[in-house]
Structure 1
Amino acid sequence: MTSIFLQAFIYLVAAVIAVPVAKRLGLGSVLGYLIAGVVIGPVIGLVGEETNTIQHFAEFGVVMMLFLVGLELEPKMLWAMRNRLMGLGGLQVGGTAAAVMGSALFFDQPWTIALTIGLIFALSSTAIVLQTFNEKGLSKTEGGQNAFSVLLFQDIAVIPMLAFIPLLALPKLIEQAQAAATTAAEHHDELSLVASLPGWAYGLVITGSIIAVVVGGHYLSRPLFRFVASSGLREIFTATALMLVIGIAALMSLVGLSPALGTFLAGVVLANSEFRHELESNIDPFKGLLLGLFFITVGAGINFSVLLNDFTIIIALTLGAMAVKALVLYGLALIFRIKGSDRWLFTLSLAQAGEFGFVLLSFSLQNHVIPADIAQPLSLVVALSMFLTPGLFILFDKVILPRFEKTSNDRETDEIDEQGTVIIAGIGRFGQIVNRLLVSNGVKTVVLDHQANQVDVVRQIGTKAYFGDATRPDLLHTAGIEHAAALVVAIDHHEHSVELVKYVKHTYPKVKIITRAFDRGHGYQLRQAGADIIESETYHSALEVGGHAMKSLGLHPFFVEQQKTTYKRVEERKSDKLYAAWKDDSEEERFDNNYRDLFIRLEEVMAEEMKKDRSDKHSRSERGWTPPPKGYTDTFDDDQPQVN
């Protein structure tokens, strides 16, 4: 028992240290787990022979992950994405598998091994790519959305791959495994429901098992979850979720199918269940820990002597595999007309192997499809390709993207043939609302945006906009900044918005500058640059949502309006004091301890003001707001909105 505690402690310490460091360096959590395994395994030698045993247990994290993937695949969503999902994703998996298989055949590998290697390297790292997209704000780009479609198809494709790979088993390896299994069988009996069944009966059992999962998941799971949920005990619901996943995995194992196949199918069946989100929240922590443990064992099991002995070959295989994937992806980007920098984002983001590559590699080894002397170098190739992925994103950010931005800027700016009372810089989601409000009230506007795609989109819906960079003085002059009454700054780039405000306020001091701020710090910078009116993009909507929440708790609408007014008044005073403290701080550390202490004290003032009885201290604005008479809301149905 003591040794088990020590081993568990070693694995957890390695994960706790390595994963946060890897994420800070932009490497992602998966690489963090792999690095942790490498350190405690080949480097330090704290873990050893027990790694393979732990890996078998940790593979259940993969089963849970596929269950969660199934939960995300609502039929409506899949149908809406069918073109990119099946077309782009299917061609990527098939094309990459064929290209890698051809390369393996060129090196005289048997076709079964070559095909398996092709399937392994057809997959990319969902964890690394999606995390990087979120961190860099690339998820909504055309390249990011197409990459997501491919990743989703790859996750689905893992299921048939797990079912197909055992059919490629090599006879020689099977004979060796049967000999070993005969020896092991003397000490252990493996449970199976289909061991001695004829072929027709085996087919019936498999069909019946799949039907049981589908029918049971659709009709029996809901009454079960309702019964458990009625107890009000969260831990029992967690136990039920684990029971469901473990039970289906056990059933699939008993009939000789992949446990991952059964749990994935169950996840798809439950995707429309009202308990879907509760299942996700209960299973996800277990999945994360077991999957992390699986990646640690992969790292711990890497044989560095193989890397050192065949360093040149392994590096060449890694770069070659990534190059083959990149060529296939680039070709698909051309076919599907993914343009500009999005084409390169799509190509480079998916050029690596993925975490499922380790799963398929381990699965292939267990099912005697790939011999160990080939599996070890391939695991190094998969790991190294994932290690190189952050470098591909750096290449995109620093080299490729600037060139395309320069090319986009080389497009001739539109000839501005009119001048407006208000100039709007930026026609994104924020600028569109401002422009629609002004135009609908007869205010003449001139809209500028430096993103050609955005300008083309708004033109399609009848909004007049000009392609051009609003930070350029010549374009502002052409748009009539000298005679404009106001400039609305709604561009998405923090630094550019501050520079624009600073330039216009210095050159055209009579122009009123109205701008939005992304956060408090950005607002301070805009205020320092000279903006006349600054509005936080979340302030008013958050205040309204808070007010509605108070009303839903039964508080009187008049009292809610009073508290909102108090909040606004105190927030305005607080903003001035915090801005003064922010200006006094050093340039290197704007938010120092003095600022934080002041913020905390002002929050205490806010709480004190909210507690005061203000029934006889209405402001002028409040006097104009007449409280509803007693019983006013009773005259309305519950489903009608209240009048504020």
Structure 2
Amino acid sequence: MEAAPLFAEILLILGGGIVAGTLFKRIGLGTVLGYLFAGILIGPVLQLIEHGQEEILHLGELGVVFLLFIIGLELKLSRLWALRRQIFGLGLAQVAVTGAVLTGAMMLATSWQAATVIGFGLALSSTAFALQVLEERGELATRFGQSAFAVLLFQDLAIVPLLAVLPLLSPAGEASVAVHAPVSPLWSVGALLALIVVGRYVLNPLFRILAQSGAREVMIGAALFVVLASALLMGLAGFSMAMGAFIAGVLLAESSYRHELEANIDPFRGLLLGLFFIAVGLSLDLSVIAANWWIVLLGTPVLMLVKAAVLYPLCRLFGESHTAALRVALVLPQGGEFAFVLFSAASGAAILPAELGSLLVAVVTLSMALTPLTDYLGRRFSVEEEGLEAPEEDFAGAGSDILMIGFSRFGQIAAQVLLSSGLGLTILDSSPERIRNAARFGFRIYYGSGLRLEVLEAAGIRRAKIVAVCTNTPETTTRIVDLIRAEFPDVRLFVRSYDRNHTLALRERGVAFEIRETLESALSFGGATLEALGFDHSQAAAVVGDVRTRDAERILLQQARTAGTGSSVLAPTRVTPEPLPEPRPPGSKARTARTQDAAPAPAGARSKPEPEPVR
């Protein structure tokens, strides 16, 4: 029964993470802070986990590795190359300037060697926390999200030289930190080239063979193997393991098995990231905080203010808007998980006293816990002042049997039907806020306007069997229909119509199907009202069906009358509103006989601006 304590600890961690993650998500604070709170409560507060915190933290760091792999899958080499200015410009400037400022401040209290390690260690931000926050809100594809990601990517690269320089700073000499000695440049370059060659020429044929076997567990095992093997190779080559997984993901971004890999890895990513955040809470030393509480409480906000104050002007210098610069500054002010690695190595090399190392870990951990708060402040101020940043147009993975343009209320309901049937659906929308909101529920929506030919091409319109136009305004809808009719005449168009005039305009353009947005809901509403007044269901259905049939016949008459007149939604009074049944005086008995259609209006006659009874 020696395994019983370990088994009980695993249950405690899982249970605590489930309860705290759910609770904090429900109250709007995010799962990250929930996992951190669970770790603090289970470990330092209740002391239910007595050992193994460091091992749990190392296991949880695999979540960061899997996260970077999935992010790599979403990035093509062309997009990564497009970010080179932010990565090697803004990222380098952030690490250099923030590290120099913090080093200068720490030299007032400690040696220059220790100050250098502390300054540049605290300059690094948390990849796990920042990316998790951005992913939860669907903001990773926004302009500021890409800039934040570029900074984090360079910071992952920066840990390599920072570890390599420790022997030069150690008073005990290189022997005390031999484990951190720089790896041979030839070995590093060779490992990187080997990973690129294998990723580009071997992995695709390998996954094709595995997919043909039909064994899902084999594909899952292969996905895990690729991530861990690439991470290990880069780790042995002197890079961070997360960087290796990211490179592997980028190399597989063009693969036809990209979505399968992402689906297989994502559950492990979420579970291990949660474990990482819980482990950070477990490793918090409350005795150090209790003995030096004023340093932690003062040092944490000072650290975050300094990092934000450096990041904001740097982002502006590199061409970001006020909103993007503010969001980046307030999503990356925390310390990072790589600081734990650097401070631990520095303590082993006698550069930092052990007590100071523990205090720094407490500051970094508390700054991580405050990240959701700073991110909230960034969203609050930026939205109020300048509105939401538009996401970048990225159509990686787009293209399916159905292309839906517009994802407002009408499109959302229609999409539920289509997705529930198991059909593939590509959704295109131009509202950044709508895209972010939908991303929280797992929808994959591409940012772009249906009025642009190149956007339609990138969204896979040539592959689509049906294009569903579900945009809000009739003018926009008609312009989209005209564009698709002119450029892609063979595409079948299913269109959301605004009213009767819009329906006639769309029919003249030869759409395969159109429906007025309020027709069916109004008919259902009327039927329900009849049942509430004593009609049985069959009677109410008969009345509703009769109205539906007569309305369809009326549309056909009006369509024949207006054919060839150049129907346009810009001429809303072209069709005269005509009631289907004859109006009756109040108190008269209901008629069950079908009323004849009114005679057509004289040619050229204009209607009065009265509301149309049946739209």
TM-score scaled to structure 2, two decimals? 0.59
Q: Give the counterpart of 1:104 among 90, 103, 106.
A: 106
Mapped to 2, the partners of 1:623 and 1:157 lie a distance apart of 66
Q: What is the letter of the counterpart of residue 472 of structure 2? A: E
1:157 matched residue in structure 2: 155
Answer whether contact 1:69 1:155 (CA < 8 A) is retained. Answer: no
Give the deviation of 1:279 after TM superposition: 1.8
Query: Which residue of 570, 573, 587 maps to 2:523?
Result: 573
Whether 1:116 aligns to 2:66 is: no
Partner of 1:641: none
Inter-CA distance 176–165: structure 2 relative to 1 (3 Å threshold): closer
After TM superposition, the structure 1 = structure 2 runs for residues 245-644 of structure 1, keeping only pairs within 5 Å, are: 245-252=227-234, 258-336=240-318, 343-355=325-337, 357-358=339-340, 361=343, 372-393=354-375, 395=377, 537=472, 569-574=519-524, 619-620=552-553
User: Is 1:242 paired with 2:240?
Assistant: no
Give, in whole Å, the separation in 2 of the partners of 1:6 and 1:96. 43
2:201: which partner in 1?
A: 219
1:280-322 deviation per Cα after TM superposition (whole angstroms, max 9, x unaligned) = 2211221221122122112111110101100111122112211
Between the aligned partners of 1:120 and 1:157, the Cα distance in structure 2 is: 10
- Structure 2 CA distance for aligned equivalents of residues 60 and 342 of structure 1: 30
Matches within 5 A, 1:47-66: 47-66=49-68
The change in CA–CA distance for 1:622 and 1:236 in structure 2 (over 3 A counts) is farther
Secondary structure (helix, strand or coil) at the match of 1:45 reads coil
Note closer, same or farther for the CA distance 1:565–1:8 as it changes in structure 2 (3 Å cut).
Answer: same
Counterpart AA for 2:125: S
Native 8 Å contact 1:307 1:314 kept in 2? yes
Q: Which runs of 5+ in 1 are unaligned?
A: 182-194, 407-428, 431-489, 494-534, 551-560, 582-601, 627-644
**SS of alignment partner, residue 273 of structure 1:** coil
Superposed CA offset, 1:480-528 (max 9, x none) = xxxxxxxxxx9x99xxxxxxxxxxxxxxxxxxxxxxxxxxxxxxxxxxx
Q: Distance in 1 between matches of 2:231 and 2:136?
A: 35
Secondary structure of 2:29's counterpart equals coil
CA distance in 2, matches of 1:246, 1:285: 15
Superposition CA RMSD, Å: 5.0
Q: Quote the offset at 1:76 in angstroms.
A: 1.3
- Deviation of 1:64 (Å): 2.3
Partner of 2:213: helix, strand, or coil?
coil
Does the 8 A contact of 2:68 with 2:242 survive in 1? Answer: yes
Deviation at 1:46, TM superposition (A): 1.0
Deviations 1:428-465 (A, max 9, x none): x99xxxxxxxxxxxxxxxxxxxxxxxxxxxxxxxxxxx
Tell me the distance in 2 between the aligned counterparts of 1:27 and 1:94: 32
| Cα pair distance change 1:229/1:254, threshold 3 Å | same
Take 1:281 and 1:348, find their aligned partners in 2: how far apart are those partners?
31
- 384 and 257 in structure 1: CA distance in 2 versus 1, 3 angstrom threshold: closer
Q: Tell me which amino acid in the other structure corresponds to 1:537.
A: N
Call closer, same or farther: CA 1:394–1:218 in 2, change over 3 Å: closer
Q: Look up the SS of the partner of 1:59 in the other structure.
A: helix
**8 A contact 2:159–2:240 mirrored in 1:** no
- Structure 1 residue 10: deviation in Å? 0.6
Partner SS for 2:124: coil
Could you say which residue in structure 2 is the equivalent of 1:4?
Answer: 6
Write the deviation string for residues 519-568 of structure 1: whole angstroms up to 9, x where unpaired: xxxxxxxxxxxxxxxx9839998xx99x9699xxxxxxxxxx99975997
Counterpart residue identity of residue 78, structure 1: L
2:225 maps to a residue whose letter is M
Contact 1:166 1:364 in 2 (8 A): no
Letter in 2 for 1:620: E
| Percent identity over paired residues | 35
Cα separation, 2, equivalents of 1:580 and 1:167: 81
TM-score, with length taken from structure 1: 0.57
Q: CA deviation at 1:355?
A: 4.9
Structure 1 position 12, deviation (Å): 0.5
Summarize the Cα distance change of 1:621–1:577 in structure 2 as closer, same or farther, 3 Å threshold. closer
In the alignment of these two chains, the number of paired residues is 443
